[in-house]
Amino acid sequence: MTEDKPSPIRPTDAEARAMAQELIRGARIAALAVLDPDSGAPHVTRIAFGLGGNNGWLTLVSDLSAHTKALRAAPRAGLLLGEAPTKGDPLAFPRLSVAVETRFVPHGTEEHAAHRAAWLTHHPKAQLYIDFADFTFVSFMPLSADLNGGFGKAYRLTPDDLSLT
Amino acid sequence: MTEDKPSPIRPTDAEARAMAQELIRGARIAALAVLDPDSGAPHVTRIAFGLGGNNGWLTLVSDLSAHTKALRAAPRAGLLLGEAPTKGDPLAFPRLSVAVETRFVPHGTEEHAAHRAAWLTHHPKAQLYIDFADFTFVSFMPLSADLNGGFGKAYRLTPDDLSLT
């Protein structure tokens, strides 16, 4: 049905890259899509989000959470960045859907220490639980992204487009 | 690792049901998790959300959207309802992760007419495109839900718990 239509994807330009990078830098939370290990169906939860050492994308998760168990079973995931303001049409505001590969960052490593310091500057309340053994950083490596900048403004972005400069 | 710990899930009570139903009734948008038909990986986007005829859960999607193609290929999906306010700790506010079965509602049916009337009361701007042939209602049937009412307040809810009274 859609094969006969022109592609809705616009060519990526500097404005699209800047919009995506602003969404990444500004995000304190994200929606995380994983595969439910029992049903194989998609499952979506709200997570904390932030930048760690070397501007790597991070979350900090509890071992008790369903999404943590799901990521241990299947590391491919999806992220939605860009919250809608409470006023105005929520679908008119930009958001970024990213396909990511996830990786757990072991406690006691230099990488963990760098992420810990960076995370606390943006999520100071995490001080309460960041050192618990069952709270773990998960690193996100972006594979590709769909930027929706509002109605009719769709772009497909590469990892290079998302690289924070 | 988590097998030795007590379950973090609390027994469902009237307060949990009321919180979930308030999230459902108040939602104008949702995060939708689907399976990317090319990669098989989870993918998450922002969609419009609302109640249709008989209080059924609905979205209105364009055939051009990636999530629409994904749902036509695999109808199981995940929904996240409950936006975080712009002030305060976003992880302290309640949200609902729902496993759903989706179904496309054909144009020209009585069901479509009932949903159309209900949808326009809450999404009046949809008047501009609601009758386009490539915009379709997708109905969500909830299968189970995880309510996170803030730190340490986790519940597992059934479709009966979510039934709007």
| Closest chain B CA to residue A79 | B44
d(CA B134, CA B129): 9
Q: What is the nearest CA distance from A140 to chain B, expressed in angstroms?
A: 14
Q: Do B32 and A44 touch (CB under 8 A)?
A: yes
> Which pLDDT value is given to residue A5?
58
Average pLDDT (A73-93) is: 91
Exposure letters B66-98 (e unless 16+ CB within 10 A, then b): bbbbbbeebbbbbbbbbbbeeeeebbebbbbbb
Structure tokens given for A11: 């060519």
Q: Do A78 and B43 touch (CB under 8 A)?
A: yes
> Which pLDDT value is given to residue A3?
46
> Which pLDDT value is given to residue B3?
46
Dihedral sign from CA coordinates of B72, A42, A100, B90: positive
* Three-state DSSP class for residue B144: strand
Average pLDDT (A52-75) is: 95
Q: Which residues contact A27 (CB under 8 A, 6 or more apart)?
A: A49, A50, A81, A82, A83
User: What are the tens digits of pLDDT across the range B46-59?
Assistant: 999 999 999 999 99
Interface of B with A (CB under 8 A): 1-2, 5, 8, 28-29, 31-36, 39-46, 48, 63-64, 66, 69, 76-80, 82-86, 89-91, 95, 97, 99, 125, 134, 146, 148
Which residue in B29, B43, B90 is closest to A33 by CB distance?
B43
Please report residues of B whose CB lies closer than 8 A to that of A5.
64
- Percentage of chain A exceeding pLDDT 70: 96
CB B164 within 8 Å of CB B51: yes
The secondary structure element, H or E, covering residue A71 is helix A66-73
Please report residues of B whose CB lies closer than 8 A to that of A69.
2
Q: Residue B85: which pLDDT band, with cuts at 50, 70 and 90?
A: confident
Mean pLDDT of the residues in chain A: 93
Which residue in A35, A44, A69 is closest to B44 by CB distance?
A44
Long-range contact list for A83-90, CB < 8 A, 24+ apart?
A83/A27, A83/A29, A83/B83, A83/B84, A83/B86, A83/B90, A84/B29, A84/B46, A84/B83, A85/B86, A86/B83, A86/B85, A86/B86, A89/B125, A90/B28, A90/B29, A90/B46, A90/B48, A90/B83
Q: Residue B32: which pLDDT band, with cuts at 50, 70 and 90?
A: very high
Q: Do B43 and A85 touch (CB under 8 A)?
A: no
Q: Which residues contact B101 (CB under 8 A, 6 or more apart)?
A: B75, B76, B77, B140, B141, B143
Please report residues of B whose CB lies closer than 8 A to that of A79.
44
> Which pLDDT value is given to residue B89?
84
Q: Do B33 and A39 touch (CB under 8 A)?
A: no
Q: Residue B5: which pLDDT band, with cuts at 50, 70 and 90?
A: low
Question: Model ipTM?
Answer: 0.94
Average pLDDT (B71-97) is: 92
d(CA B2, CA B9): 13
Q: Is the pLDDT of residue A89 over 90?
A: no
Q: Do A48 and B125 touch (CB under 8 A)?
A: no
> Which pLDDT value is given to residue B6?
62
- Lowest-confidence region among A90-104, B6-20, B23-37, B63-77: B6-20
- Percentage of chain B exceeding pLDDT 70: 96
| Closest chain B CA to residue A48 | B91
Residues counted in chain A? 165
> Which pLDDT value is given to residue B98?
98
Which residue in B33, B66, B86 is closest to A42 by CB distance?
B33
User: What are the tens digits of pLDDT across the range A142-158?
Assistant: 999 999 998 779 999 99
pTM score, whole prediction: 0.94
* Three-state DSSP class for residue A99: strand
Please report residues of A whose CB lies closer than 8 A to that of B79.
44
Please report residues of A whose CB lies closer than 8 A to that of B97.
43-45, 66
